[in-house]
Amino acid sequence: MGDTLKKSNNVEKFDIILVGYGIAARCLLREFAKSDYFSKKKILVVYNDDVFPPCSLNTTSIVCRSGVQKGISDLGDFIFDSYEEAISFYESHPECHEQGLQHSLTDQSPKGREDFIRRFGHCDSLNTLGDLSLSESFEGVSFKAYFIDPSKCLSALEQAYIEKLDVTIKKLTCREVLKKEGHLQLDCGCESFVTNKVIIASGAYSKFFQNNLKQESLTKSKFVSGSYIVFDDCDFGNKSFVLANRHYNLIYRRRSRQIMIGGSTVKEDLLCASVSELKSQYNFFRDLLKGDLVLPAFESGTIKTGLRHKGQKRRPFFGELEKGPFGNIYSMTGLYKNGFTFPFLGAKAISKLIQE
Ligand SMILES: Cc1cc2nc3c(=O)[nH]c(=O)nc-3n(C[C@H](O)[C@H](O)[C@H](O)COP(=O)(O)OP(=O)(O)OC[C@H]3O[C@@H](n4cnc5c(N)ncnc54)[C@H](O)[C@@H]3O)c2cc1C
């Protein structure tokens, strides 16, 4: 009855509805813009960054292949291929990135050092960080890295489709995706929309949909928050660099003159950062670089936290969640630590699936 009433009240119909407007959704729209099939479709994007802070803007956003090779695991292959796909976009959009080196330090323990050398095949003596000379060298391996500016990257992606697609972008909270007879209904409180194709691209918050969309990619996935501390107005030379110590980094971004410390698995409770863990990471780098690079006082930094979506066995999910008389529900989730590479390849997979 309620449904009939809403329909008679002209509930707007779209061919495709996307929930989310972070890097996942934008890579999808960019991919759609390459095909005539989507140019004739009426697309709706629903997002609410005030209620669901996007990880895509609370991130350290480094793209580095870190020596990953093809042919070892399916995840490694995916990391490799999506890196190649992503950098072809970044290379043609110099406004949204700068380049530098990532120096990964060997583990301090003898066993850790052995594993490191087995993994990378060698380790070198590192004497410089960007264009700073170090008084004491470190052991590690250096890789090419792209330092992505997340807001500029999101804008560059948007430019690739905004004129080419019939896309309406609405700031609304999606409460539920309802499976009805013959269609799907997106309940956004004061407004509802109908469609036969919904794509969930809502990052970690995708888990909130698991009550009515039962699929392992959602039920077996996790929220994993990550925090970092940012120091502004830093001048550590004319070259950006990353110093990576196991799961956490010190990043210097020359363009924005920022130092960021942290970035990986820190024990937090959703959006509340563990200051003590960040402080111990800060102390590690402060002691390591003593004299060569003097860090600003910890208290002068700003702590930021992003909510990542970790898929089952760290695998992303790009595919169909459900299919029925109501239509199809797809998702592009589980980007975890690879949000600036995975969706470039994932978008191709979903675009192909929809066109089949
Ligand atoms: C500290 C940290 C460091 C990181 N470093 C890197 C790195 O160096 N390199 C890298 O590649 N990746 C990194 N990542 C991971 C990367 O940032 C994320 O994987 C990526 O940004 C996720 O993008 P997304 O589009 O899936 O989700 P998000 O950016 O979180 O977007 C989710 C969108 O969904 C919307 N939304 C959610 N629920 C609803 C709802 N119910 N109704 C309406 N809208 C909704 C939100 O408003 C938002 O627009 C890092 C992450 C963190 C936290």
CATH of the domain at 161: 3.50.50.60
Mean pLDDT of the chain: 91
Pocket of ligand 1 (CB under 6 A): 19-24, 46-49, 52, 54-56, 58-63, 173-174, 201-203, 205, 226, 228, 263, 306, 308, 335-341
The CA distances from residue 253 to 30, 66, 214, 234, 239, in Å, are 27, 18, 42, 9, 8
Predicted pLDDT of residue 43? 98
Closest residue by CA, ligand 1 atom 10: 338
pLDDT reported for residue 297: 97
What pLDDT score was predicted for residue 290?
A: 83
Confidence class for position 345, pLDDT limits 50, 70, 90: very high
Are 303 and 160 within one domain? no
Query: For the chain, what percent of residues have pLDDT higher than 70?
Result: 95
Q: How many domains does the chain divide into?
A: 2
Same domain, 227 and 134: yes
Across residues 318-329, what is the average pLDDT?
94
332 Cβ contact partners less than 8 Å away, ≥ 6 residues apart: 24, 25, 27, 28, 199, 200, 201, 316, 317, 318, 343, 346, 347, 350
The answer to the question of residue 130 being in a domain is: yes
Place 9 in a pLDDT band, splitting at 50, 70 and 90.
low
CA 262 to CA 303: how far, in whole Å? 10
Confidence of residue 267 (pLDDT cuts 50, 70, 90): low
Q: What is the pLDDT of residue 132?
A: 87
Task: Specify the pLDDT at position 1.
Answer: 36
In a domain, 136, yes or no: yes
Statement to judge: residues 163 and 290 lie in one domain: no
State whether 209 and 117 are in the same domain: no
Q: Are residues 139 and 253 in the same domain?
A: yes
304 and 332 part of one domain: no
Does 90 map to a domain? no
pLDDT of residue 7: 47
Indicate the pLDDT class of residue 118, thresholds 50, 70 and 90: confident
Residue located nearest, by CA, to atom 6 of ligand 1: 61
Paired tokens of 234: 């830093």
142 shares its domain with 275: yes
% of the chain exceeding 90 in pLDDT:
75
Residue 271 pLDDT class (50, 70, 90 cuts): low
Query: Average pLDDT for residues 152-158, to the nearest whole number?
Result: 98
Among 1-5, 121-125, 148-152, 339-343, which stretch is predicted with the lowest mean pLDDT? 1-5
Taking the alpha carbons at both ends of the chain, their separation in whole angstroms is 34
Tell me the per-residue pLDDT of 188-230, one tens digit each, with 9 for 90 and over: 999 999 999 999 999 999 988 877 777 788 888 888 889 999 9
Same structural domain for residues 142 and 273? yes
- 63 assigned to some structural domain: no
The closest alpha carbon to 66, from 264, 288, 344, belongs to 264
The verdict on 156 and 297 lying in the same domain is no
- Greater model confidence, 118 or 144: 144
Residue 308 Cα to ligand 1 middle (Å): 6
Alpha-carbon gap, residue 140 to 107, rounded angstroms: 9
Q: Is the pLDDT of residue 325 over 60?
A: yes
Residue 4: which pLDDT band, with cuts at 50, 70 and 90?
A: very low
CATH number of the domain within which 299 lies:
3.30.9.10
Pocket test of ligand 1: the residue of 28, 49, 61, 192 to mutate, having most ligand atoms within 8 Å of its CB, is: 61
Q: Is residue 83 part of a domain?
A: no
Q: For residue 13, is pLDDT > 70?
A: yes
Q: What is the pLDDT of residue 217?
A: 81
With a cut of 60, say whether residue 274 has pLDDT above it. Answer: yes
67 within a domain of the structure (yes/no): no
Determine the structural domain holding residue 292 and report its residue range. Answer: 98-148+223-308
Question: Does 87 map to a domain?
Answer: no
Residues 37 and 161 in one domain: yes
Q: How much is the pLDDT for 265?
A: 59
Lowest mean pLDDT among 57-66, 128-137, 342-351: 128-137
- Locus of tokens 């509340």: 272
State the DSSP string of 99-144: EEEEEEEPPSSHHHHHHHHHHHS--EEEEEETTEEEEEEEEEEEEE
* Confidence tier at 176 by pLDDT (50, 70, 90): very high
Instruction: Give the ligand 1 atom nearest the CA of 332.
Output: 26
Do 160 and 293 share a domain, yes or no? no
Predicted confidence (pLDDT) per residue in 21-47, tens digit: 999 999 999 999 999 999 999 999 999
Q: What is the pLDDT of residue 8?
A: 42
Average pLDDT of 298-321? Answer: 93
Q: What is the pLDDT of residue 266?
A: 55
Domain assignment present for residue 125? The answer is yes
Q: Are residues 236 and 299 in the same domain?
A: yes
Q: Average pLDDT in the 256-282 region?
A: 81
